[in-house]
Structure 1
Amino acid sequence: MRNVAIVGAGLVGSGWAIVFARSGATVRVFDAEASIRASVLDRIRESLAEMRSVGLVDEVEAILARISVADSLAEAVAEADYVQESVFERVDVKTAISLAIDAAMRPDAIVGSSSSGIPASAFTEGCRNRGRFLISHPVNPPHLVPVVELVPAPWTDPAIVPFLRAEMERFGQVPVVVNREIAGFILNRLQGALLNEAWALFEDGYASAADIDATVAHGLGLRWSFMGPFETIDLNAPGGVADYAERLGPLYHSVAQDRTDPKPWSDELVGRVAAERRGALPSEALADRRAWRDGRLMRLVAHKQAQKD
């Protein structure tokens, strides 16, 4: 994977371009929107400069020199060893771009989709090279949050997943293999469980959105920034995970039984949370707060890289 194509150059696609270029790959970026093509290198340069300020990269211009913008999809993917597709999350859009990539790609190339929850079987079945397609779902922004979920379709060549896992590790990512398709994959199913409980607790009046957020940001999230749920509970009882399950398993079972009839997020409920959030953070300040988030992420990543496991 020395030559990489990025199809879709928004926040996720431009982050992917950094992932590959900082590790030495030649990257060709394409987006159907001319305005995005015109601005993507400036956005990448800005991100790299911020990363350099916290020690995550050394040479901004050397990385940028490995990234170029293609004027057409065919130009971007024709010579690519690997294609990372990051277009709008809708089956019809994913299907159309997959067919277009399929028509222009080398038959031995690999195509990963940044789909957040739609499985590859929903949009790659009609591709001539469908055995070369799979999900490579990152966390946004992928150049700062390294997890990437690898999810094969039923027809994906079995040799691709172990190969791509090794390549993603070489590019500094943390690949997670999902053995078979499931809507939402692993990350968004875990995130969804927490989100659904957060919405329900707010709707039932148990706490404000700010206090629910604080419970994660200053409680659960501190441990979760360097260990997962199974290791967390393994360390939270004297006898490890089996001891924890014996002590607290019945409690978690009873909590789960409280939510046997989950409700959709109603417009009224969303409006109440949105009103609280906009009171705390006006709409015009969202972009600045995202930049603040990315800066904090950069410093956390730099700290984690400096530690030894």
Structure 2
Amino acid sequence: MTARIGIVGAGLIGRAWAIVFARAGMTVALYDVDVTALDKAREAIRQSLVDLKQAGLIEDVEAPLALIQTESDLRRAMADVEYIQECGPENIAAKRGIYAELEAVVDSDTVLASSTSGIAASRFTDQLSHPERCLVAHPVNPPYLIPLVEVVPTPSTSETAVNHTMRLMALAQQAPIMVRKEIQGFILNRLQGALLNEALRLFRDGYVSAEDLDKTVKHGLGLRWSFMGPFETIDLNAPSGVVDYGQRYGPLYRDVDRQRGDDDPWDSVTLAALDKERRERLPSQGLADQQAWRDRRLMALMAHQRTVTPS
């Protein structure tokens, strides 16, 4: 693949995107106004590539690394790119500024995609001369290990820009999904948020410890969800499929849903109590090592999944 990709922002997500595209043989221009951040990014990318090679997920470190160029001048960085992945702050005003700068230096048909976790692109692209080439391509961190990408067009986004992004993500070995209408948080974070909200309430109200709640997902829901979605799960959990499941368990889920209040489960008292339990199990100084452990486990899972033919 010979596509030239521009990435705005050399932080955690920008670096991860650079690996995604370079691993697929695409040339990457990684831009950041901070030269020090670019230097750190290159070393971090090299280490991630070494880890991927050790996990058997790539064959070579130097080949993808050679495809990643770093640049602190926006015009030079974005010259001749066909697609830009913006990884700036999760802030509407900042994104409006970034997109105005991008529009001034790229061709009118260059696709401008945002990595935002939950802001609809129409909120920061409506002032542009060419909003039809703008959309969201929201990854899951880190995208070189978790392939889902949520492609979220605005009402103004052209079909050409959407198709280009979906095709590019597939070529980059990602798993793109189409979010048909803009909605805050998109799909993944709304699903994750629903589970987190309920988890915090169950913990706050004394039904379960933080450790046991995590066990419930790790050793229960998560095992199935690592290879099946929730609709697939319920379709297979009743003799006659989803309608049968709904008739059997729908009343339970409706009752549980009615019991949920409108209170905020993210209050400071609940978070402090949760932090206390988590820090007893994992002191703050151990977070970085545990994050590295998480990534190695994801690599092992990805390597395993590559040996299994998908259904």
Give the TM-score normalised by structure 2: 0.97
- Residue 230 of structure 1 aligns to a residue whose secondary structure is helix
Aligned partners of 2:34 and 2:72 also within 8 Å = no
Taking the TM superposition and a 5 Å limit, the aligned residue runs for 1:9-158 are 9-158=10-159
- Residue 104 of structure 1 aligns to a residue whose secondary structure is coil
Name the amino acid aligned to 2:297: R
Q: Shift in Å at residue 8 of structure 1? A: 0.8
Aligned equivalent of 2:201: 200
Name the amino acid aligned to 2:197: N
- Residue 144 of structure 1 aligns to a residue whose secondary structure is coil
The answer to whether structure 1 residue 298 and structure 2 residue 299 are counterparts is yes
- Residue 6 of structure 1 aligns to a residue whose secondary structure is strand
Aligned partners of 2:200 and 2:265 also within 8 Å = no
Aligned equivalent of 1:281: 282
- Residue 226 of structure 1 aligns to a residue whose secondary structure is coil
Q: Structure 1: which 5+ residue stretches go unaligned?
A: none
- Residue 135 of structure 1 aligns to a residue whose secondary structure is strand
- Residue 58 of structure 2 aligns to a residue whose secondary structure is coil
Aligned equivalent of 2:191: 190
Name the amino acid aligned to 2:243: A
Alpha-carbon displacement from aligned partner over 1:47-85 (angstroms, at most 9, x marks no partner): 011001111101110110100101212221121110000
Taking the TM superposition and a 5 Å limit, the aligned residue runs for 1:207-222 are 207-222=208-223
Aligned partners of 2:30 and 2:71 also within 8 Å = yes
Distance 2:91 2:283 in 1: 29
Name the amino acid aligned to 1:158: E
The answer to whether structure 1 residue 236 and structure 2 residue 243 are counterparts is no
Moved more, 95-104 or 135-144: 95-104
Name the amino acid aligned to 2:95: K
Distance 1:73 1:213 in 2: 43
Aligned equivalent of 1:163: 164
Distance 1:31 1:71 in 2: 5
Name the amino acid aligned to 2:239: P
Distance 1:13 1:115 in 2: 12
Q: Which runs of 4+ in 1 moved over 3 A?
A: none
Q: Shift in Å at residue 161 of structure 1? A: 1.3
Percent pairwise identity = 50
Moved more, 130-139 or 33-42: 33-42
Q: Shift in Å at residue 163 of structure 1? A: 2.6
- Residue 199 of structure 1 aligns to a residue whose secondary structure is helix
The answer to whether structure 1 residue 248 and structure 2 residue 244 are counterparts is no
Distance 2:211 2:169 in 1: 36
Moved more, 185-194 or 29-38: 29-38
Distance 1:201 1:236 in 2: 25
Q: Shift in Å at residue 264 of structure 1? A: 4.3
Aligned equivalent of 2:7: 6
- Residue 49 of structure 1 aligns to a residue whose secondary structure is helix
Distance 2:34 2:270 in 1: 35
- Residue 104 of structure 2 aligns to a residue whose secondary structure is helix
Q: Shift in Å at residue 305 of structure 1? A: 1.1
Name the amino acid aligned to 2:283: P
Distance 2:271 2:249 in 1: 32
- Residue 150 of structure 1 aligns to a residue whose secondary structure is strand
Total equivalences in the alignment: 309
